[in-house]
Chains A and B, each alone.
Chain A
């Protein structure tokens, strides 16, 4: 049976960074992903990565912007670590070979981003995530002797020993259909968010909340799950993301009257206010009949105000996206966008070393909630989060591995359980609903009721729907009876993960009776620090979610009114 000091689930930026850090610290490492690493959704991150590297910048300014962006729900000790370690991490990536764009002096160029008090976003055109991910994968190829890659292996469940410590996983080889146990002293979850719970979403089809659900089922608490980010600029039809870098380069948002409506809600930062603020402002324009395009469901993003040469060089990807996915030449005409689900601030609760309350289980990246993003994540802070906390988790897990023995458990019962579950799904009679129908309904109900604006009634409707869909999913049928690349059966398992994530999100959104960050309750429109300056933790109790609270760590910035 394979056994490693550190087993990482997910091979996006957090996972690959964790793998390199753990291997460098001398641990034996394996990294497992249900897709080839470069297909991971980190690849789609466009705009850049924040770090106070300019001589007139200070990491404390970055930290303050992040705290304010989080609507004071972010834990300030974690934010201080992330922002103070950011410059060294960006330099490390540069040394690995990331082709960051330069200024006239040959130094890293920096662009403006939302919610930031100065230019501090390093970038590679508008393919920063791709450049980072591919460079990290280059490093994995380089370090192939110390990091074992398990590409296209789907994790089914976490293994725990008699003391409740995590000691490995059971996984299925996508290609052969073989189910196998993998023992490990430490498991690091780094398998991303849960965007597919929503429809539309900017997130890829693989982003199905696997890691969040695996941890939740193993008893780990989830935190800030109500905080779901809607990105202000997504294509109306498909939800495809247009980078915030466009506004960073100077693009405007216009309503049907041609007005830059951010004047009303963010007169200072305008289009570069934080994402929750901009998305709400757009939704108000749309709801009040000042939207553009079919049904008035959109807003114009006008990139034509950016010099054409600059657009072609620094925004090359969205020039392609406009052409291929909206039929628009963004250098010549505005493109119609609207807010769309993009990111979940919540996730598996961890400390600043990536540790979850389950011994031996770590989490980093979007799957985790440290919490550095609190109620709202700033653009270009997610790449930073994955790398800083991926590295810290990898280093800490490697150190822990040196101090503990390889767990000895009998994995056969778990193995049998997982194999039988797959057989049961494959054998289900063709009654009831298809997996794909349930997924579709889930996405629509979440996007209707657990979106930019929420209220009690809508959230209760969502809760009832998710509960019903869970029952239907337990009987949902599939077509594929095979073993080789049976994506159908994996889709059924992913639907189960997604429903767990949806359940936690809805429960937390119902619980938080105030408006903060991405959670805007029309029935509780004010922020209420006295009652709600605290995290909501969701744990699995029997069959359903159980709510508890944990305090927000405040170091140097007391909550104040948030204005942009």
Chain B
């Protein structure tokens, strides 16, 4: 395979300049199956060392290089150039910082102010079931494989970037942090399932604030399925623990269910 030319159109922002964000274009030469990250790094190495992007592993495991490519959230390192060009407008691959988080510089956003603050909200550590055994907890293989799906979240922020509910309500705990919450609720070694579920159900910006738009499912580069995890939290909260909250979201959902059950149709009005 031979190298081809790819045009990159990058959203740049220099907080020290006093200027608004602007578009910056570079043409790089790489094979089509190489990544958008490699293209950005080539532009940085050859043309402009001041291009700001967090990156490290180049293999979709460190979660540093979340950006928007042609408007869609993605990891720059596992997006192929030829695929990105197919989705490009006017032949230029557009690269922007992620959404829903303040931009610090160029493609670098303030993840701590949004993403990590929300993660900290869900008591993100195991609260051990007692007594702690001398050796390992004896648990099902399947339960560990199940929570490993959410453990596989690399905290890249792609789902946060694209969350419509968070766009409307910045206080929404959001897909990444709630997927993290499932990692404990689904873990048989955790002692606070009920308390965790109660907390996340009662919080008006908790599990019932999600609007099922599927954007996080599409955005996730690791198949964590954040919305699916939120739905599981709802199911476990309501069916297994009988938690009744006073949120509109829950009432809304109950009304839909009743309508469909009794009339076979959903009257949106």
Complex-state Cα separation, A258 to B208, whole angstroms: 56
Count residues of chain A with CB under 8 A from any CB of chain B: 70
Binds B, one of A225-233, A480-488, A524-532, A546-554: A480-488
0/1 per residue, B199-234, Cβ < 8 Å to A? 000000000000000000000001000000000000
- Asked if A204 CB lies within 8 Å of chain B CBs, one says yes
In the complex with contacts A36-B111, A142-B125, A130-B145 CB distance below 8 A: no
The answer to whether B189 and A130 touch across the interface, beta carbons within 8 angstroms, is: no
Closest to A479 in B: B49
Query: Which residues of B in the span 119-160 have a Cβ within 8 Å of any Cβ on A?
Result: 119-120, 124-126, 128, 132, 134-141, 144-145, 147-148, 151-152, 154-155
The answer to whether A44 and B59 touch across the interface, beta carbons within 8 angstroms, is: yes
Closest to B112 in A: A151
Complex-state Cα separation, A205 to B57, whole angstroms: 6
Closest to A36 in B: B111
The answer to whether B49 and A480 touch across the interface, beta carbons within 8 angstroms, is: yes
The answer to whether B152 and A313 touch across the interface, beta carbons within 8 angstroms, is: no
- Asked if B27 CB lies within 8 Å of chain A CBs, one says no
In the complex with contacts A130-B152, A134-B151, A142-B125, A241-B59 CB distance below 8 A: yes
Chain A residues with Cβ below 8 Å from B145 are: 101, 125, 313
- Asked if B259 CB lies within 8 Å of chain A CBs, one says no
Interface-central residue, A241, A313, A325, A479, by most chain B CB under 10 Å? A325
The answer to whether B56 and A240 touch across the interface, beta carbons within 8 angstroms, is: no
In the complex with contacts A130-B152, A130-B154, A205-B58, A102-B49 CB distance below 8 A: no
Q: Which of B56, B57, B134, B136 contacts A108 (CB 8 A)?
A: B136
The answer to whether B56 and A41 touch across the interface, beta carbons within 8 angstroms, is: yes
- Asked if B71 CB lies within 8 Å of chain A CBs, one says no
The answer to whether A99 and B148 touch across the interface, beta carbons within 8 angstroms, is: yes
The answer to whether A41 and B57 touch across the interface, beta carbons within 8 angstroms, is: yes
User: In angstroms, how far is the closest chain A Cβ from the Cβ of B202?
Assistant: 22
Complex-state Cα separation, A102 to B154, whole angstroms: 22
- Asked if A348 CB lies within 8 Å of chain B CBs, one says no
Query: Which residues of B in the span 84-135 have a Cβ within 8 Å of any Cβ on A?
Result: 104-106, 108, 111-112, 119-120, 124-126, 128, 132, 134-135
Q: Which of A107, A138, A482 contacts B126 (CB 8 A)?
A: A138
Q: Which of B64, B80, B141, B189 contacts A101 (CB 8 A)?
A: B141
Complex-state Cα separation, A467 to B152, whole angstroms: 43
Chain B residues with Cβ below 8 Å from A435 are: 49
Chain A residues with Cβ below 8 Å from B126 are: 96-97, 135, 138
The answer to whether A44 and B125 touch across the interface, beta carbons within 8 angstroms, is: no
The answer to whether A44 and B148 touch across the interface, beta carbons within 8 angstroms, is: no
Binds B, one of A113-121, A280-288, A316-324: A316-324
User: In angstroms, how far is the closest chain B Cβ from the Cβ of A89?
Assistant: 12
Complex-state Cα separation, A207 to B125, whole angstroms: 28
In the complex with contacts A106-B139, A480-B50, A485-B108 CB distance below 8 A: yes
Closest to B189 in A: A97
0/1 per residue, A275-319, Cβ < 8 Å to B? 000000000000000000000000000000000000001001100
The answer to whether B141 and A104 touch across the interface, beta carbons within 8 angstroms, is: yes
Closest to B38 in A: A238
Interface-central residue, A40, A99, A124, A151, by most chain B CB under 10 Å? A99
Chain B residues with Cβ below 8 Å from A111 are: none
The answer to whether A485 and B151 touch across the interface, beta carbons within 8 angstroms, is: no
Closest to B139 in A: A106
- Asked if A146 CB lies within 8 Å of chain B CBs, one says no
- Asked if A413 CB lies within 8 Å of chain B CBs, one says no
The answer to whether B45 and A436 touch across the interface, beta carbons within 8 angstroms, is: yes
Query: Which residues of A in the span 196-222 have a Cβ within 8 Å of any Cβ on B?
Result: 204-207
Closest to B107 in A: A485
Closest to B64 in A: A39
Chain B residues with Cβ below 8 Å from A127 are: 61, 148, 151-152
Interface-central residue, B54, B106, B184, by most chain A CB under 10 Å? B54
- Asked if A100 CB lies within 8 Å of chain B CBs, one says yes
The answer to whether A483 and B139 touch across the interface, beta carbons within 8 angstroms, is: no
The answer to whether B125 and A103 touch across the interface, beta carbons within 8 angstroms, is: no
The answer to whether A35 and B56 touch across the interface, beta carbons within 8 angstroms, is: yes
The answer to whether A204 and B57 touch across the interface, beta carbons within 8 angstroms, is: yes
The answer to whether A175 and B154 touch across the interface, beta carbons within 8 angstroms, is: no
- Asked if B195 CB lies within 8 Å of chain A CBs, one says no
The answer to whether B59 and A91 touch across the interface, beta carbons within 8 angstroms, is: no
- Asked if B246 CB lies within 8 Å of chain A CBs, one says no
Closest to A327 in B: B33
Complex-state Cα separation, A142 to B127, whole angstroms: 10
Chain A residues with Cβ below 8 Å from B112 are: 36, 151
Complex-state Cα separation, A440 to B42, whole angstroms: 12
Complex-state Cα separation, A151 to B52, whole angstroms: 17
- Asked if B255 CB lies within 8 Å of chain A CBs, one says no
Closest to B154 in A: A130
Complex-state Cα separation, A485 to B110, whole angstroms: 12
Chain A residues with Cβ below 8 Å from B119 are: 141
Query: Which residues of A in the span 34-53 have a Cβ within 8 Å of any Cβ on B?
Result: 35-36, 38-41, 43-44, 53
- Asked if B197 CB lies within 8 Å of chain A CBs, one says no
- Asked if B46 CB lies within 8 Å of chain A CBs, one says yes
Q: Which of B45, B56, B108, B151 contacts A99 (CB 8 A)?
A: B151
User: In angstroms, how far is the closest chain A Cβ from the Cβ of B199?
Assistant: 16
- Asked if B10 CB lies within 8 Å of chain A CBs, one says no
- Asked if A109 CB lies within 8 Å of chain B CBs, one says yes
- Asked if B262 CB lies within 8 Å of chain A CBs, one says no
In the complex with contacts A102-B140, A206-B56, A479-B49, A43-B61 CB distance below 8 A: yes
Q: Which of B45, B58, B111, B135 contacts A204 (CB 8 A)?
A: B58
User: In angstroms, how far is the closest chain A Cβ from the Cβ of B200?
Assistant: 17
The answer to whether B61 and A482 touch across the interface, beta carbons within 8 angstroms, is: no
Chain A residues with Cβ below 8 Å from B59 are: 44, 238, 240-241, 321, 325
Complex-state Cα separation, A240 to B141, whole angstroms: 29
Complex-state Cα separation, A139 to B187, whole angstroms: 16
The answer to whether A94 and B137 touch across the interface, beta carbons within 8 angstroms, is: yes
Complex-state Cα separation, A178 to B80, whole angstroms: 37
The answer to whether B62 and A434 touch across the interface, beta carbons within 8 angstroms, is: no
Chain B residues with Cβ below 8 Å from A36 are: 64, 111-112
The answer to whether B63 and A39 touch across the interface, beta carbons within 8 angstroms, is: yes
Closest to A439 in B: B45
The answer to whether A44 and B50 touch across the interface, beta carbons within 8 angstroms, is: no
Complex-state Cα separation, A548 to B154, whole angstroms: 43
Complex-state Cα separation, A41 to B57, whole angstroms: 7
The answer to whether B56 and A204 touch across the interface, beta carbons within 8 angstroms, is: yes
Q: Which of A317, A440, A482 contacts B14 (CB 8 A)?
A: A482
Q: Can you sample 14 A-B contacts with CB below 8 Å?
A: A36-B111, A39-B54, A43-B57, A44-B57, A91-B134, A97-B184, A125-B152, A238-B58, A317-B61, A327-B33, A434-B45, A480-B49, A482-B50, A483-B16
- Give me 11 other A-B pairs in contact (C-beta within 8 A), A39-B63, A103-B141 excluded: A40-B62, A44-B59, A102-B140, A107-B136, A109-B141, A131-B151, A205-B55, A238-B58, A238-B59, A317-B61, A482-B14
6 A-B pairs with the lowest CB-CB distances in the bound complex, closest first: A97-B126, A480-B50, A204-B56, A436-B45, A479-B49, A106-B138
